[in-house]
Amino acid sequence: MKIKQLYPLLFTGLLFLTAIPATTAQHQSGTIRPDIGSYRQFNPWEQSINPAGIQLTEVDSLMEITIGHKNLRPAFCATDQPDRLLSYRGTVDGYKRLGALQLSGGLGWQQYRLKGQSWNFLEQPGYLITAGDSLANPRHSEQYSLYGKAAYVLSPRLLAGLAMSYTATANKDASPEKRYSGSAHTAVLSAGLVRSGRQGRIGLSTGYTHRTELLTYGSTYKERLYTYPLGYFIPMQEINDGNTGILRSSAGNSNIFRSIGNEWQAAGQAEWLQPGWSWFNELYASFERRRLSPDDSENMHGWKEQYLTLGYRSRLSIGHGRWTHLVSPALLLKRTLSDRILQRPDPNNFNGAWVRFGLLRFASRHTADLSVSYCLARDYTPDGATQAWQLAIGWSGNREEIYSYPFTIAQLTGTIHAEAAFVCRMPLPHTAGLMLRPSVTLLTGNGTEERITREENNAAVEIKAYRNYGRVSSTFAALTTTRLGFGLQAEYRRPLAGSVDGGLRLQAYLERIAKNQTDYQLDKTGGGGMLALIVWL
């Protein structure tokens, strides 16, 4: 199947699935749509990229402190995903209104302990070329995050907002040898305007994201570290192979895999407000450039990548007495291109400078995510609904290509994720309350791979990529396996003293392999749970 043949599939899917992009089979253990009882979910503007939207959140003062623990063991996952995850986290989030100024912010700490994961040792998601270890080692990751938003009423019809966030992650090999360590940093800045009119509101927003990541490893272990797209990998010790110009880091000083990315975003929002109904829409686009280097040299880069993303999300809310109908469709299209930067040492420079002499298309990815969710809620307020029925379904399609002369290897995969859930809130004695949300999840998919002979048979450069059959077969099995999941969320809340409330949040998940289309060995049952203590101020 050619790339252009993918587009009819997308438009066909739109006829059946028209709000959250569906998850892939490797990340199967979450729910498509969480409980609707939160201020952020009640206000569609706060879910948008526009930071001025927090001015429309109906809360004057609130703080939530959470301490939680998660234990997850999927029934099956691909080799580049952990087969056991333990996490600990603590977060503080809140709102504060000061006259015409609305503030929102928070900070968080998370620690992850991963087991059974190979071929993936970096933190930044969504990249096509990455680095990883060929063997599975226990791995520890610790993350600190901080964010803040401010929205100000410039006039009765105009709102302005500004948001900033910063995330730092430390990543290390937890084996006794401690071969690798890494760090990742992400900084985000965004601004937006919202203007109110007689029929509704319109908004414009823009944002910038800067990402950096370093993976440090000893020279002794370079033969175990690789860069790879799809199921193909290139040893980190790749050499300047004769006169072909494929770079190799020298044996003595190459000990850093470096990644630097810059992303620009723009979005427009529109909301129609009428008695009994409202319709929110957001159209957004982003473009990112990324440079990668398998060497610690500042002037040598192995690849460059470009990401173009187009997205649309919407929410239609229709009130009918005590009941509210919520329909939320979404569409996400993403194109990723990776080019190989061809460099060689400058013979006239003894300081180790490299000279760029060419560029070669190395890999590409085309992704389409379609989803729609429907919710029927009773007594829907910012504090939550007393009852709600939820149904969500999503489809995700990917076409990935690696150009390995004289062939182009193409993988076409698709996954479907469906979930049905019921939410019930019950009052208890002593002004306490209990929320229950049982759910059923179905996940299935398919995948194919084909080799296409390249037309440019006179290509001057041959990329020597090697096949990792274990990673390919496990990924294919994870995509094509049919899973049935059962989940339960529960939250208990009661007053403690004065305006302080305390509570307990519990989440349990069980999945069962219903159908396996491959001969890959896997467990039949998996699951996990989350427990959190919460204080509301």
Q: If pLDDT is split at 50, 70 and 90, which confidence band does 33 have?
A: very low
| 122 three-class SS | coil
In this structure, which amino acid lies at residue 325? Answer: H
| 140-163: average pLDDT | 94
pLDDT at 26 over 50: no
| % of residues, the chain, pLDDT over 70 | 78
pLDDT range class, residue 34, cuts 50, 70, 90: very low
Q: What percent of the chain lies above the pLDDT cut of 90?
A: 34
pLDDT of residue 243: 35
pLDDT at 19: 33
Least confident among 18-32, 86-100, 324-338: 18-32
* Structure confidence by residue, pLDDT tens digits, 55-93: 998 888 888 899 999 998 888 777 777 888 899 999 999
CA distance 370 to 382: 27
d(CA 445, CA 25): 8
Of 52, 85, 256, 251, the C-alpha closest to 162 is 52
State yes or no: pLDDT of 280 exceeds 80.
yes
Write out 285-336 in H/E/C secondary structure.
EEEEEEEEECCCCCCCCCEEEEEEEEEEEEEEEEEECCEEEEEEEEEEEEEE
> What's the N-to-C CA distance of the chain in angstroms?
56
Torsion, CA 22, CA 23, CA 28, CA 32, rounded to 10: -50
Question: Tokens 């500042």 identify what position?
Answer: 298
Q: Each residue of 454-511: pLDDT tens digit?
A: 655 444 455 566 666 666 777 777 777 888 899 999 989 888 888 888 899 999 989 8
**CB-based contact 191:205 (threshold 8 Å):** yes
Q: How far apart are CA 400 and CA 484, in angstroms?
A: 27
Amino acid letter, residue 225 = L
From 478, 490, 391, select the one nearest 441 (Cα to Cα): 391
Which of 19-23, 80-84, 388-392 has the largest mean confidence? Answer: 388-392
- Boundaries of every domain in the chain: 3-536
Which residue matches tokens 């909301």? Answer: 271
pLDDT (mean) for 254-275: 89
Structure-model confidence comparison of residues 37 and 82, the more confident one: 82
State the pLDDT confidence band at 123, using cuts at 50, 70 and 90. Answer: confident
What is the pLDDT, as a whole number, of residue 523?
65
Element (H, E) at 362: strand 354-378
pLDDT at residue 168 in the model: 95
Strand, helix or coil for residue 395: strand
Q: How many CA atoms lie within 13 A of 451 on its CB side?
A: 7
CB 81 within 8 A of CB 118: no
Does the pTM surpass 0.75? The reply is yes
What's the length of the chain?
537
CA 237 to chain centre: 30
What pLDDT, on a 0 to 100 scale, did the predictor assign at position 392? Answer: 93
39 pLDDT band, cuts 50/70/90, is low
Q: How confident is the model at residue 240 (pLDDT cuts 50, 70, 90)?
A: very low
- 384 φ, ψ (degrees, to nearest 5): 115, 170
User: Which alpha helices (H) appear in 5-144, and where do they start and end?
Assistant: 6-16, 39-42
Helices (H), 39-121: 39-42
For residue 12, the model assigns a pLDDT of: 33
pLDDT of residue 100: 93
What is the 8-class DSSP label of residue 52? Answer: G
Beta-ladder partners of 105: 94, 148
Q: Please state which of the ranges 166-175, 237-246, 335-344 shows the lowest mean pLDDT.
A: 237-246
C-alpha 452/C-alpha 455 separation (Å) is: 9
Grade residue 29 by pLDDT with cuts at 50, 70 and 90: very low
Residue 524: both structure tokens together:
């039949």
Give the distance, in angstroms, between the CA of residue 263 and the centroid of all CA atoms in the same chain: 15
Give mean pLDDT, residues 325-349. 84
Q: Locate all alpha helices (DSSP H) within 93-189, ordered by sequence.
A: none
137-146, 235-244, 261-270, 341-350: which range is least confident on average? Answer: 235-244
